[in-house]
Chains A and B, each alone.
Chain A
Amino acid sequence: MTQLQLPSYLDQPPAVKDRFTRLKQRPVILKVDALGKQFDTPQGPTTALQDIHFQTHRREFLCVIGPSGCGKSTLIRILAGLETYSSGQVLLDGQAVNGPGSDRGMVFQGYTLFPWLTVKKNVMFGLERAGKGRTAAEEVAREWINLVGLEKFEDSYPHQLSGGMKQRVAIARALATQPRILLMDEPFGALDAQTRARMQAYLLEIWKNIDITIVFITHDLDEAIYLADRILVLKAHPGEVQELIEVPVPQPRTVEQFLSPEFLATKKRLETLIHPNRDTHENVGEQLHMVRMVPLDDSVSSIF
């Protein structure tokens, strides 16, 4: 591969710089301060997260990225209130987070739709818990189902839907109660590349049009750059913030930007952060101690 002369990921075009200035003037929705988490394991306590601090502003799209086991899921589960934390604080609109609640919607990697409810009833679930009457809930649910383009399937059960459709229902279900913030833990991780790209476009479209702040976990660098305003990069053992990157790719995003210099520069930076001394492809063979296992006189003795 020829080395392109890339700009620094820190060089922001004027429009982008301007936008970030305005973004940081928006009210803070979520503030995480000196957050720490320890798990008690049979081998003694292990530190999953240590001294995490960051904040998100209203209608911001924040991606969290990091190597496997760095505590991304733990972090988002703490934000959702599904996990306790050992130290520090998590403030949502200035209030300390205490247990799960409908002000923080969550979309999981496994679809977690209720299999015994139809699509419509799934979306109505949160609305009914919030005390909405049946007809009112039904009306709101319909709107959301239309919004994710599943009006033909509102009476289907989850097992009758494809993975992408299920995840759209899950998003609609999480958003229907109008949470302040939407937490997503590798929501498209189980989808194939095409469906995944479509879902990303859907999500951006939804984000643009409604008042929602999104915290999105992924391990896909392209996905993070394509979606995020800012990317929180974590490192493992213990999970700590490595860098909070402001993505220099102009908004609104399009797929054409995947090859723009800003995009590639950001990706290069993420790669050096996440895989600092990644092996080049050439020396993989040496590492594996491979020996030739096909006889020399085989009819296909060489594949080159």
Chain B
Amino acid sequence: MTRTHWFAVRKELPHRSRLWLGVMSFLLPLAIWSLVSYVPFVWHPKMEIIDPGDVSYFRPGMLVDRKVFAKESAALQNTGGALPQGKRANPIYLPAPHAVAKAFFTAFTTPPKRRNEPWLHESLWQSIQVIFWGFFLSSLIGVPLGILAGTYDVFSRLFEPFIEFFRYLPAPAFGALAVAILGIHDAPKIAIIFIGTFFQQVLVISNTTRQLDPALLEAAMTLGAKRFSLLFKVVIPGVIQQLYRDQRILLGWAWTYLIVAELIGSSSGITWFITQQARYKNFDNVYAAIMMIGIIGITTDLLLARLGRRIFPWQRQPAQV
């Protein structure tokens, strides 16, 4: 058996190599992060004060620029005072991997600062609900509309020009309006996700629907399929697998609108947690929370991909995540 060359154009690599590369794609950024965090002579533009010596405004644990530290040291050397002690450190906004890893757990176990504030898992759950409702409502209207527009020219000509125009309007621009109309709770946030998803969704779905091989429609017509059976027995089953894949991609887009959505009105969900933690300078928590969004996103996508392989057994899926 000959092995596929690593750089063979559009050839699938063996399973082992693919797995290995998949792990590497996560390990590589982690390695760079670790390098910057743990190897003292890489970057580390700050000095963490261990002993302030005779510098009046230095405090133990304080972070100062290396230049300032050097200047103060030089000044003291000239006047003969006690030199400050310090070690090289990264700025506070770049915590080391282990700190973030620890924050993954402590963030969940640390009670909120005030009694009426939510725990982290409550914030996350709120975010997931906002995404779910925004995406669900958008799909409820967008998917049927897209299929209709992709099947019948009438609907395509009637809807698509306006939608084409509307999708250029940035969803966050509707934030203030949404709050004015829908109040300050979850409704305007769901509306933003909806606006951000819906217009793209109709266009993507209608485009995918148009990809159906017209020969299948012709074959169906010669077998006696008429209007509605053409739609329900040929068009929809013919594209449903691709629609499912589109929906997965669109769900990813919906997540990217989450932060904006949660910032409008009163800040809520994971965004509230992130801004709160950033205010207390708990950047390890901030990173942990951002990563949680990523982890939730990719896990749902993997689950949906697996589910897709189960419900659409008629085609071998091309290798994809």
Report yes or no: A114 in contact with B222, Cβ–Cβ below 8 A.
no
Q: A101-B224, A130-B224 are in contact. Are A112 and B314 (CB under 8 A)?
A: no
Among B216, B224, B226, B241, the residue within 8 A (CB) of A126 is: B224
Q: How far is the CA of A80 from the CA of B223 in the complex (A)?
A: 10
Report yes or no: B224 in contact with A82, Cβ–Cβ below 8 A.
no
Main secondary structure of the interface of B (DSSP, over half): helix
Can you name 13 extra interface pairs (CB under 8 A) apart from A115-B315, A125-B233? A80-B222, A81-B222, A102-B223, A105-B222, A108-B215, A108-B219, A112-B216, A117-B237, A126-B224, A129-B225, A129-B226, A158-B314, A177-B224
Interface 0/1 of A65-90, CB less than 8 Å to B: 00000000000000011100000000
Main secondary structure of the interface of A (DSSP, over half): loop
Report yes or no: B315 in contact with A114, Cβ–Cβ below 8 A.
no
B161 contacts the other chain (Cβ, under 8 Å)? no
A106 contacts the other chain (Cβ, under 8 Å)? yes
Report yes or no: A129 in contact with B222, Cβ–Cβ below 8 A.
no
Q: How far is the CA of A177 from the CA of B313 in the complex (A)?
A: 27
A130 proximity list for chain B (CB < 8 A): 224
21 A-B pairs with CB atoms under 8 Å apart are: A81-B221, A81-B222, A100-B221, A100-B222, A102-B223, A102-B224, A104-B222, A106-B218, A106-B219, A108-B218, A114-B216, A115-B315, A116-B240, A116-B312, A117-B237, A117-B314, A125-B225, A126-B224, A157-B314, A158-B314, A159-B314
Distance (Å) between the CB of A70 and the closest chain B CB? Answer: 21
Report yes or no: B218 in contact with A100, Cβ–Cβ below 8 A.
yes
Report yes or no: B314 in contact with A115, Cβ–Cβ below 8 A.
yes
A158 proximity list for chain B (CB < 8 A): 314
Q: How far is the CA of A99 from the CA of B218 in the complex (A)?
A: 11
B224 proximity list for chain A (CB < 8 A): 101-102, 126, 129-130, 177
A261 contacts the other chain (Cβ, under 8 Å)? no
Report yes or no: B222 in contact with A116, Cβ–Cβ below 8 A.
no
Report yes or no: B221 in contact with A82, Cβ–Cβ below 8 A.
yes
B316 contacts the other chain (Cβ, under 8 Å)? yes
How many residue pairs bridge A and B at CB < 8 Å?
Answer: 75
A225 contacts the other chain (Cβ, under 8 Å)? no
Q: How far is the CA of A173 from the CA of B213 in the complex (A)?
A: 18
A105 proximity list for chain B (CB < 8 A): 222-223
**Residues of B183-242 whose CB lies within 8 A of A:** 213, 215-216, 218-226, 229, 233-234, 237-238, 240-241
A174 contacts the other chain (Cβ, under 8 Å)? yes
**Residues of A32-49 whose CB lies within 8 A of B:** none
Distance (Å) between the CB of B243 and the closest chain A CB? Answer: 12
Interface 0/1 of A100-134, CB less than 8 Å to B: 11101110101010111100000001100110000
Report yes or no: B238 in contact with A114, Cβ–Cβ below 8 A.
yes
B234 proximity list for chain A (CB < 8 A): 114
Q: How far is the CA of A99 from the CA of B222 in the complex (A)?
A: 9
A117 proximity list for chain B (CB < 8 A): 237, 314
Closest to B221 in A: A100
Among B222, B226, B312, the residue within 8 A (CB) of A106 is: B222
Interface 0/1 of B226-270, CB less than 8 Å to A: 100100011001101100000000000000000000000000000
Q: A108-B215, A112-B218 are in contact. Are A173 and B314 (CB under 8 A)?
A: no
Among B222, B312, B315, B316, the residue within 8 A (CB) of A82 is: B222
Q: How far is the CA of A282 from the CA of B233 in the complex (A)?
A: 56
Among A102, A106, A116, the residue within 8 A (CB) of B237 is: A116
A159 proximity list for chain B (CB < 8 A): 314-316
B241 proximity list for chain A (CB < 8 A): 116
Q: How far is the CA of A64 from the CA of B234 in the complex (A)?
A: 30
Report yes or no: A173 in contact with B223, Cβ–Cβ below 8 A.
yes
Distance (Å) between the CB of B173 and the closest chain A CB? Answer: 41
Q: How far is the CA of A18 from the CA of B46 in the complex (A)?
A: 106
Closest to A157 in B: B314
A177 proximity list for chain B (CB < 8 A): 223-224
